[in-house]
Structure 1
Amino acid sequence: MIGTEEFWALIEASAAATAAPDERLAWLTDRLAERPADDAVDFAWRLDEARTRADTWRLWGAASLICAGLCSDDGFHYFQAWLVGLGRATFERVVDDPDALADVPEVRRLAGRSVDAWDDDEWPDWEALDYVAERAYERITGTVDGVDDAAAARGRELGVSPDPTDAEWDLDDPAELRRRYPRLATMFPLPAEEDEIGVGVWETARP
């Protein structure tokens, strides 16, 4: 069984083994594939639990500010996985106070640069972390796409998109972004103020 402590130990051990995202994923998949199939399901379960804690409008707003408004449902889902990949201490601090992302080195390296200039590996998303448990489960059992069914049989439907339960607010409101994230707002451009016809826009775009 993989509990919460071991889940975070595996995430952090992968970062200690290699800094390359793809190599981290391979490392995690190899470690899980050496274990019983239930452990791969446990890993997916623990990732889902962590995501649930990070699934807030408070954190979505911070992610959107960093990414110049380019943070769709999928984008925020992958952002949550990226945040998990930073390790438990950073995850806990940022979930408690999203403006603490201003202290994260991976975020600070993005400040002052257009999103057009970010390399793919620099984007704060880690979609492929979702595939680790699936790939390990397939290697163990020979069953493709079996983790979701196995988790459901144990009483948990794994989330596939954000579903925040805290109070929703306008993530494109410059004044609100400045109030909620005073530190991040000094590092990343705020959305353009509403023009004369009342349409607010973000000034940059991801290719």
Structure 2
Amino acid sequence: MLADTTGPISNADLAQFAEFQEFRKRSRKRTPTKAATDPTAQPITEPEEADTPEDIIDATVATVHSALAAEILDRVMQLSPKSFEKLVLRVLSAMQYGTSGHVESTGDSADAGIDGVISQDPLGLDRIYVQAKRYARDRTVGRPAMQAFVGALQGQQADRGVFIATCDFTRDALDYADRVGVRIIPVNGIELAELMLKHRVGVQTNYVATLLRLDEDFYDSL
């Protein structure tokens, strides 16, 4: 293709290959992502023939990652509740929480409603409490579950928490979390999958391409 094509390689150029046609079909069959379910999200646009190679690569990566996020969430749903808690703590560690302190699981302790604790400093003075729920995708986290988490935080005299679930939160639950006197960050399933992609948790590099450009400084130095 590089040898036979002048200018950017477009979808029209790639359409002659059966492998590319099959890839497009698989991408369309994936579970709708946040862009499809969230009206505020920016839609992924198909690259036009006039796009630059960088634009085409960015669009392709976005399409692949969108499909991969759905695959990640499907795989996460196969984990046991205990393994899901470990995954959540692994993601938070990859996000650099607990870098100066540590991240620990409390799933086997008597801390009802608390699945993990992030100590932001070595002495554990600055702590964030974590709730991890692996619910069915068609379920929602309602206000009662959010209230229970707030109660658990208050029992620890804590003012910050992260509630991560594999499903969505109801508007009532989100409104309640905004009104209470503690800071709660809710993370739904799609957002969790996107964080795993961003911080390379549970995924591995499959293909790397390097684009080269003219080095004007080189020629100016001759």
Same fold (TM over 0.5): no
Q: Place the TM-score, normalised by the shorter chain, in its bin.
A: under 0.3
- TM-score (norm. length: structure 2): 0.23
The structure with higher relative contact order (CA 8 Å, sep 6+) is 1
TM-score (norm 1): 0.24
Q: Which has the larger radius of gyration?
A: 2
